[in-house]
Amino acid sequence: MILRTENLSHRYSSTWAIRDINIEIERTGIIGLLGSNGAGKSTTMNIICGALNQTEGNVFINDIDTRKQPEEAKKEIGFLPQFPPLYSDLTIDEYLTYCAELRSIQKTQIRSAVNEVKERCGLAHISSRLIRNLSGGYKQRVGIAQAIIHKPRLVVMDEPTNGLDPNQLIEARKLIREIGQDHTVLLSSHILSEINLLCQEIIMIESGRVVFSDSMDAFNSYAQTKSLLMRLETPPHAADIMQVSGVTQTEFLTSNQLRIFFEGSYDEISDKLIAASISGSWKMKEISPDKGLLDDVFKQLTNRSA
Ligand SMILES: Nc1ncnc2c1ncn2[C@@H]1O[C@H](COP(=O)(O)OP(=O)(O)OP(=O)(O)O)[C@@H](O)[C@H]1O
């Protein structure tokens, strides 16, 4: 097992920031940690990487207990924190050499490790530049380079695409995908579409608890088929719509537009609503699956877990 957390819990003060987080990852690829601001993503990642001591629970990296053998465990972890610790007065070469030394790479291997990671992260052509003079996108690549220089099995990236411009975003995603081919990448974001683009698996946390953990495909089918949008020219009372079997909640967005939450498949419920619209003269103008506003998915999942 590459990563396993066991009832991981942490409190900074009196309230729990995360509670009973259980994660198991056993293969390479990109796993997304999705959650709104303050959900507990950074806390979880900081603990996994040994930057914060948990209040309760255990973390195993490559089956090594990070509390009992922190040095051994850290050999298999690379970490790109939300604010990477870059030294702006060093050049890329100097900084990466320093990181290689910190990671206890053998002296004779340091130069080749630095060269290899520069090549991989597209930094070779600017390696004598001072970090302070780099664009945000290049600084991010240097941050990624330090996280993989020692070839760890697990690479943890806290919001790695946050704040990048559209071109930098494309480059960063490409690099992260490449890294995901031979490493396990645990990546956090508060943006569902970002996780959707990059990840094969998703772990969603809300208020410090895991509310969903499955493949991206499973998440998408869950998130997208549970609500639909409908426009009616002469809508009835919500209570009448609730009579349609399978409808669990009706929400008026405007006087004509509604969001309907339902159980079962979209095809089934839309047939029933269309039939009800005809017999009740609701004059349906439009019906479509709701693409799943993240807030709604959070709400549904949080209710489900409760
Ligand atoms: N150093 C700290 N001291 C006290 N409370 C903290 C500290 N760091 C985080 N918290 C609290 O712990 C909870 C989880 O925060 P965390 O930073 O892990 O969330 P997050 O999902 O990473 O959010 P963001 O995307 O905003 O960074 C929040 O309620 C936050 O206010």
For the chain, give every domain's residue range.
Answer: 3-215, 225-305
Domain 3-215 sits in CATH at 3.40.50.300
**Per-residue pLDDT at 223:** 67
Report pTM: 0.80
Mean of the per-residue pLDDT values of the chain: 92
Confidence of residue 221 (pLDDT cuts 50, 70, 90): confident
pLDDT at residue 163 above 80? yes
**Per-residue pLDDT at 303:** 63
Distance 45 CA to ligand 1 centre (A): 11
Please tell me if the CB atom of residue 160 comes closer than 6 angstroms to any atom of ligand 1: no
294 vs 286, more confident: 286
pLDDT at residue 153 above 50? yes
**Per-residue pLDDT at 155:** 98
Percent pLDDT > 70 in the chain is: 94
**Per-residue pLDDT at 306:** 45
**Per-residue pLDDT at 219:** 84
Asked if the domains at 3-215 and 225-305 fall in one CATH topology, the answer is no
* b/e burial code for range 104-132 (CB count within 10 A of at least 16 → b): ebeeeebeebbebbbebbbbeebbeeebe
**For domain 225-305, is the CATH number 1.10.10.60?**
no
What distance in Å separates the CA atoms of residue 134 and residue 259, rounded to the nearest whole number?
46
Please tell me if the CB atom of residue 51 comes closer than 6 angstroms to any atom of ligand 1: no
Please tell me if the CB atom of residue 38 comes closer than 6 angstroms to any atom of ligand 1: yes
Closest C-alpha to ligand 1, atom 26? 37
Ligand 1 atom showing the smallest separation from residue 12 Cα: 4
Q: What is the mean pLDDT of residues 252-256?
A: 93
